[in-house]
Amino acid sequence: MEENITTGQIGKKYGIIYGLIGTLIAVIPMVLEIQNNWIGMLGTVLAIIIYIIATKEFRADNGGFMSFNEGFKITMIAAAIAGVIRAAVTYIYIKVLDPGFSERMRETMIETWQSQGLSDEAIETSLRFAGGISNPEIAAMLGVGTALLGGLLWGSIVSAVNKNESEESF
């Protein structure tokens, strides 16, 4: 008797894969002190690729059928797991392995804003806002939230494109 694969199994599998690769994409630039806009884009591209592969695998293992709901569950499970993994590793890095990271980041932001011609008052206002984000605990929560938001957006699109519902679905 064949075992049916579940959305949870696929979601967990690809959540761990996405979490590990996404963590490398997030932590390596921190370790090397690289700041590029394309690195954030790389994380988004990775998420979309993982969601596509995961939903296609489920559909293939499910007789060629997958509802939107099944695809959405897979992508949200993967996003949640990946977000938690990435946030945990990033938190440990910032809090334990490199406690000076937040201060270096703050200095870099100030230098960038000064080079853009922001006034001291605007820099102070921006630092008050960024102060919460640079807090490792808040950054970890925002990281999980961002992963879930990305899963919601990109997972919905991928699930809608990859769905193939059987005639008996309703």
Helices 101-115 and 120-134: crossing angle in degrees, nearest 10, is 150
Domain map of the chain by residue range? 7-165
pTM score of the predicted model: 0.82
Mean pLDDT of 83-103: 88
Q: How far is the C-alpha of 131 from the C-alpha of 12, rounded, in Å?
A: 34
Confidence of residue 132 (pLDDT cuts 50, 70, 90): low
| pLDDT score, position 117 | 84
Q: What is the pLDDT of residues 14-31, one digit of tens each?
A: 999 999 999 999 888 888
pLDDT of residue 1: 38
Q: What is the DSSP string of 128-168?
A: HHHHHHHSHHHHHHHHHHHHHHHHHHHHHHHHHHH-B--GG
Give the side-chain half-sphere CA count within 13 A for 147. 28
